[in-house]
Each structure stands twice: as structure tokens, then as C-alpha cells.
Structure 1
Amino acid sequence: MNANSTDAGVLVGIRLGTAPAAVSAGTRNSAAIDRLGFDSCVLTASTGAASGTPTALSLAAKLQESTDGQNGWTDLAGAAVEPLTAPNSVARVNVRLSTAKRYVRVAEAITLTGGTAPTLGASSLLVLCGPDEIPAP
């Protein structure tokens, strides 16, 4: 099967960025994701319910890249979603990966203002796309 196939599923790989969780203010990073064989992706970030009655909230998510998947992480240009500022929201950004380093990860920054021990449901997902059929994981 090749890229001209009508079965788009053979061209797509779905990877969990950050697992859905109720998180406090701060940062968290996904595990390294090997993008070998993929030349573009869609990064999605989503918020769930907020608890502890924060007066303001924000979830910012972006992709970072690394040569070895362990060290030297740097932001990937043009690979950040618009910050989410409401519960139960979704944002996405299309990213070209053709010049990116081999490994990527999702970096999230959660900001919560006010409330009592506030948390925010948050998660991210990476939908990778390749020019050729992707072998099953």
C-alpha cells in the first residue's frame, strides 16, 4: 500500500503525549516519541474539569525536539497550541517535522490562579503522519 491509498489509517501513528490527569500548576513533559518515518503531525491539547475553584487557568502545550530523546531538548519552531483558558477545551496545531530532530516530546505548562488547591484536567495527543505506510507498533 502507498500514500495514494484511500486508507489513510496506514499513514497515521497516534502517540499519547501526556496522560489525562488532574494536575496542579507547574510543568510536565511527555516521554520521548520517535518520529522516524513521520514527516508531519498534529499536536492536540485538551483541558477537562477544574477543581478547587481557580479564578483563572491556562494550559500551554508545545513540542520540543532532541537528537537522542534524552538530552538537549529545545522548542520546535511553530509547534505550540494557542493556550487554553477554559475547562473542557481543545486546541491543535499542524506541524511539519521534515527538518525536526529524531525525537519529540510534549511540554505542558499549567497555570492556576486563586482557589483552594486547584487542579485542572489536562492531556495531549500527537497524531503523526508519514509519507508511506507505517508498520504496526
Structure 2
Amino acid sequence: MNANSTDAGVLVGIRPGTVPAAVSVGTRNSAAVDRFGFDSCVLTALTGTATGAPTALSLAAKLQESADGQNGWTDLPDAAVVPLTAPNAVARLNVRLPTAQRYLRVVETVALTGGTSPTLGASSLIVLCGPDEIPAT
């Protein structure tokens, strides 16, 4: 099916990054996402509720790339959202992918200061955009 000006759905592939969860301090990685057939994406990071009364919080999210989706992960240049520092916030970043390797993943880092066993609701999403149509699966 070819894309036309009234059918944006054939140009978009929505893939989960990190699953929604109450996260304590640290880093977590999403599963590998195959970007075959897509030449750009939007990385979206979201915060939810903070528990345990932290005095400061931060959610940073970036994209990494790999040739095989298992090994050799490296940061994709210019593919990190501005860190979120409030609960119930959203950050997004448009990323061009024409020279990126085939597989992407989200690396999410949560920092929390103060409080008692604080956590932050966090998740991410990758919205892939293609040049003219979604590849057959």
C-alpha cells in the first residue's frame, strides 16, 4: 500500500521503549527495536507519579544503536531528550535515522534525591516514521 496525504498510518510504526513502571535510582534498557524501512523516529519519555517524597528527580532517555540488536550498543548521536525533572511530564525528540544501524533501544536513567525509598513512574516510546510505507512483516 502506498502512502497518500490522507493516510499517515502507513508511515508510522509505534514501538514500546521501556515499559511503564515505578523505577528507583538506576538505568534500564528497552528491548531491541528493528527500524528496518524507517528513516526517522520520535523518542518520547514520560514521567508519572513520584513516591517516597524525593526532593529532586530526573529522568533521562537516549537512543542507542546496534547492527544485530544484541551486541555492540553505542549511543546514537544527538538522540537524547532533555531530562525531565518533574512528575507527570513528557519530553520528545525528533531523530533522523538514515545512517543509523538497524536496531535501536532506549536507555533510561532515573535519579532521585532525598525521600524514603523513592520511586518515579517512568516509560518511553519510539514512534518510527518511514519514507513512504510500512515494510511488510
TM interval, short-chain normalised: over 0.9
Find the counterpart in structure 2 of residue 91 from structure 1.
91
Stretches of structure 2 lacking an aligned partner (at least 5 in a row) = none
Indicate the residue corresponding to 2:24 in structure 1: 24
Q: 1:37 to 1:135 in 2, by over 3 A?
A: closer
Cα distance in structure 1, aligned partners of 2:82 and 2:96: 17
| Count of aligned pairs between the two proteins | 137
Distance 1:136 1:18 in 2: 25
Deviation (angstroms), 1:50: 0.1
**2:30 is the counterpart of 1:33:** no
Match in the other structure for 1:101:
101
1-side partners of 2:126 and 2:85: how far apart?
Answer: 21
Query: Residues 3 and 131 of structure 1 are in contact (CA less than 8 Å); yes or no, is this contact kept in structure 2?
Result: no
- When normalised by structure 1's length, the TM-score is 0.96
TM-score, reference length from structure 2: 0.96
CA RMSD of aligned residues (A): 1.1
Deviation at 1:133? 1.6
Shift of the alpha carbon at 1:6?
1.6
1:56 aligns with 2:56: yes
**Offset of 1:132 from its aligned partner?**
2.2
Please tell me whether the aligned partners of residues 48 and 120 of structure 1 are also in contact (alpha carbons under 8 angstroms).
yes
Deviation sequence 1:88-113 (CA, Å, 0-9, x none): 00000000011000000000010000
